[in-house]
Chain A
Amino acid sequence: MATPAADLRPKYKKALIGGDELAKAFTFLFAALILVVTVLLVLELWRTSSPAKEKFGFGFLTSQLWNPVTDEYGALPFIYGTVLTSFLALLIAVPLGVGAAIYLSELALPRVSNALTFLVELLAAVPSVIFGLLAIFTLVPAMRDYVQPALQKIFSFQPLAPFFDGPTFGVGYLTAGIILAVMTFPFIISVSREALMAVPREQREAALALGATKWESTWQIVLPYAKLGILGSVFLGLARALGETMAVTMVIGNSEAIHQSIISPGYTIAAVIANNFAEASGKMFTSALVELGLVLFALTMLINGFAQLMIVLTTKKGAAKS
């Protein structure tokens, strides 16, 4: 049956006044911004880096040469530094963070747990330049005078010795890894703690009622139940470690080469961009730096995608329903 236009109008007006259509249109616009920003970001990185892409091709990813004088650029030392420092950071922060989360959610008195959690959240909000300063004044001298010589002494045997070789400057991959660990640690604690606290009490009681000790119930039942959330916290930490710029720039040592030793100076993608962009002269230098940005973007995407895949796979295997 045909509807006269006159009948439609009040209905339309009502929907507008009621706000349904309007709200839908506006919120859609806001949501679309996410897509717009992402697309613009990639397009701009892609466009600005095209001179470097044309000149170096895929060799950019595998070359170790970085020479602004001859205008030759390769990203491998920075990719290596980024991945290595992030890996070291997680190696330190994951056991500490998950362990602390277990204490806060399972063992501590509620008052202690709440106080410590407040501090953890405060720590997460500290600007990274502050961590950088802290590292320069305390961590770097301590690494130079005590930690690095001690590590060299401990690992003086083959095949580990080359990983701790070289002069002890204090700065370097390991120092950056440690400061990154300090910075990712609060994220891992607070997200893991949430995940552990979300485990139903019935799960703990089921284990205890079978004769499990408190620790058996925590380690064998509660922790596996919360594993997706804990995995999430790890990837959140990793995302922060990969992109962290300021603190790393201050302690990485700024060496544009690949070193096998984890105590020697290195460089990360974010640090090299931050250090060079202001003084970058010449189109090719700028373009190479932007391409580095593109590489970092892709690296983060890749790792996030991998994380999603892992979560899907573990859920399929019959893990906890969230």
Chain B
Amino acid sequence: MPEPTKPQTAPVKMRAKNVNFYYGSFQALYDINLDFATNKVTAMIGPSGCGKSTFLRNLNRINETLRDTRLEGEITLDDENILDQDVTAVRRRIGMVFQRPNPFPKSIFENIIYGPKINGMLKGKNAAEIVETSLRRAALWEETKDKLNESAYALSGGQQQRLCIARALAVNPEVLLLDEPCSALDPIATSKIEDLLITLKHQCTIVIVTHNMQQAARVADTTGFFLLGKLIEHDKTEVIFKNPSRKETEDYITGRFG
């Protein structure tokens, strides 16, 4: 078993212990041990197919919705195993943003309010207020305040992705997972989202999967490098990029493969 890599920077919010994951008989993750520090941005990088997205999708148990998958090990949130808890409650506390913007075919307002509505968070609260707060947190309020009742599809790709972030924030998650959130966006929209993540980490713990190493360098406090289903190394971002301790990491960072 590889030794857990723990760059101690802050209290641990989430922790993966000996996580193995299988698609049918194919093992996609091998003994992953990884800590996510509270109110920090943790990035996960690695070549395509290295298991970084698969790992991320286990953190809110969304992989369970795929057929024929199996997870071994333990994933804790505030030291309690999320695998033993009610899955909808877990997902309420751990929000997720996907690779491609996926707003619902509804108005901007309805997109934001959907999460609070199904989680019974509207009682005694003003829906409009929740919508405004969420859009402000996602830095989208100024652009959308006059067209809240228009279809979410009327927004640009970058705006749609920030809407999806706002939608995830509307239920006040403690952790926000982002699965290559900028892969479908242009550089300007990407930089807006990166700025947003840096502000958002004061409100929640952020985990981001990215194929873009510069992005990890720009936004992440710590970075983990995945290769062939294994976590090779996890350390402070500047250490990973300037002085990695493993040769595989160095090869990847310097562009020798991947």
Residues of A within 8 A of B (CB): 110, 200, 202-214, 216, 220-221, 224-225, 317-321
Contacts and interface: CB of A to CB of B under 8 A. Distances in A.
Contacts of B107: 318
A209 B94 CA distance: 8
Contact of A220 (B102, B118, B154): B118
Given A205-B102, A212-B88, 20 more contacts: A200-B102, A202-B98, A205-B65, A206-B98, A206-B103, A207-B104, A207-B114, A208-B62, A208-B65, A209-B62, A209-B91, A210-B171, A211-B92, A211-B119, A214-B65, A221-B104, A224-B104, A224-B105, A318-B154, A320-B105
A210 B98 CA distance: 12
B108 to A, nearest CB: 10
A321 B62 contact: no
B151 interface: yes
Given A224-B105, A321-B153, A211 B171 contact: yes
10 contacts: A200-B102, A202-B98, A202-B100, A203-B104, A209-B62, A209-B91, A210-B171, A211-B88, A211-B89, A318-B150
Interface string B162-178: 00100110010000000
B61 to A, nearest CB: 9
- Residue among A210, A220, A319 with the highest chain B CB neighbour number at 10 A: A210
A109 to B, nearest CB: 8
Interface string B145-166: 0000011111000000000100
Interface in B12-71: 60, 62, 65, 67
B106 interface: yes
A210 B151 contact: no
Nearest to A216: B118
A255 B91 CA distance: 61
B75 interface: no
A203 B106 CA distance: 12
B216 interface: no
B102 A206 contact: yes
B95 interface: yes
A206 B154 CA distance: 19
B96 interface: yes
- Central interface residue in B88, B167, B171, by most chain A CB within 10 Å: B88
Closest 9 CB pairs of A and B: A318-B151, A211-B92, A202-B102, A210-B115, A320-B105, A209-B96, A211-B91, A211-B88, A206-B102
A322 to B, nearest CB: 11
A206 B111 CA distance: 10
Contacts of A320: 105
Contacts of B100: 202
B76 to A, nearest CB: 19
B62 A205 contact: yes
A208 B62 CA distance: 7
Contacts of A211: 88-89, 91-92, 115, 118-119, 171
Nearest to B89: A211
A17 B55 CA distance: 58
Contacts of B150: 318
A225 B206 CA distance: 30
Nearest to A227: B105
Contacts of B152: 318
A89 B124 CA distance: 44
Contacts of A205: 62, 65, 96, 98, 102
Given A204-B65, A205-B62, A210 B91 contact: yes
A31 to B, nearest CB: 33
A210 B102 contact: no
Contact of B67 (A110, A203, A206): A110
Contact of B104 (A206, A208, A321): A206
Contact of B167 (A202, A210, A216): A210
B122 to A, nearest CB: 14
A208 B105 contact: no
A31 B228 CA distance: 55
Contact of A203 (B92, B102, B118, B167): B102
Contacts of B114: 207, 210, 220
Nearest to A199: B105
A206 B164 contact: yes
Nearest to A206: B102
A210 B104 contact: no
B105 A209 contact: no
A162 B102 CA distance: 52
Nearest to A204: B65
Given A203-B104, A319-B105, A209 B118 contact: no
Instruction: Give the most central of A206, A211, A224, A321: most B CB within 10 Å.
Output: A211
